[in-house]
Structure 1
């Protein structure tokens, strides 16, 4: 059953998705509810909510930043170029994506359109928008109960580990989830799209793969 909503605690002005999150709901019910989320203004321009997808009993859960243009149109996370790179790296690292759960810290596509163009250009979500969307991610973590969470990029890292998180400093090592010290360990790395933009893609990809292999090692329980 959903929480009771009032004019004071719901809608874009509140910047809080919590009133839209059904209590004690499974992933399918959460996905249906998320389609109607109005917890921040991003829903106004996005095509649809892009909720997480994958194995409900996954041992590893991967969190990206937000859906991109192709994800926004398809309604599925990581189906564009960054998703294809992620698939390749997961396979090489020994992580089965079909047995993983993949989602984003922010569930709506944020973009800008140049005055003389039609192509929608990705725009990074603000910390306020990521915080507003955090109740959906919290619910996903609670339902899936993974052993390891992989934070893909700065937005995901800050959503999970707090505002002091830095990819350059904290990547590649297992960290405790501040909101649940007895819960899953968190391992941060680059977002796949950052690799696609890198001047030296080969080196960026090698580092990304090393981080994912560390996550795979943790899943195997290796010291």
Structure 2
């Protein structure tokens, strides 16, 4: 049933965004934990899979700390295509954060994806995924490492926001906070999963 529902959802996304290189969610449809990133990068577009390449290295650390395997996760992004902008430094294109309009366009799909997967814990990585699931204007700096709750289509879900692992690269002072938050998530997993 889940497989047919996710296939139908994916087909609708592909039909609506025929001019974009779409990266769909991937992973265990019966998972306990659903990770939500903001949007795919170049490597994700190339391989048509979320959290590979450099992002995959961050994911490896995440799953190592939690003592789980990638096969136990479902991984998706709020925006399913790569938002880019021209770069004068590289004479090419670089990633940019999704706009509020892009987030809103994909929000209905993300909510349906959560409804299909029904994870025990939703882990939004950064501000964009938080905007993708909450109506409130939360900021990751205020809610990271805290167990929240949300009602989606009549079901209650635990939400555990984390800084995006890439943020730790740019702000080294977040590394200890990030690792502490992962330990808290591990405790929550023992209770919920």
The two structures have a TM-score, normalised by structure 1, of 0.77
Deviation digits for residues 34-57 of structure 1 (CA, Å, limit 9, x no counterpart): 22223xxxx64x4x1111100010
CA distance in 1, matches of 2:40, 2:32: 22
> Which of 1, 11, 14 is the aligned partner of 1:35?
14
More helix by share: 2
Matched, 1:216 2:189: no
Structure showing greater Rg: 1
Asked whether the 8 Å contact 1:147–1:183 carries over to 2, the reply is no
**Taking CA–CA contacts closer than 8 Å with sequence separation of 6 or more, which of the two structures ends up with the larger relative contact order?**
2
CA distance in 1, matches of 2:37, 2:5: 21
1:52 matched residue in structure 2:
25
Asked whether the 8 Å contact 1:90–1:212 carries over to 2, the reply is no
Q: Secondary structure at the match of 2:92?
A: coil
Larger displacement relative to structure 2 (86-95 or 153-162): 86-95
Distance 1:61 1:116, change over 3 A: closer
> Which of 140, 143, 157 is the aligned partner of 1:184?
157
Moved over 3 A (4+): 115-119, 178-182
CA distance in 2, matches of 1:153, 1:181: 25
Asked whether the 8 Å contact 1:93–1:209 carries over to 2, the reply is no
Compute the displacement of 1:182 (Å).
3.9
1:143 matched residue in structure 2:
116
Asked whether the 8 Å contact 1:173–1:187 carries over to 2, the reply is yes
The two structures have a TM-score, normalised by structure 2, of 0.88
Count of aligned pairs: 190
Deviation digits for residues 127-180 of structure 1 (CA, Å, limit 9, x no counterpart): 121011012111211111000000100000111122411111111111111545
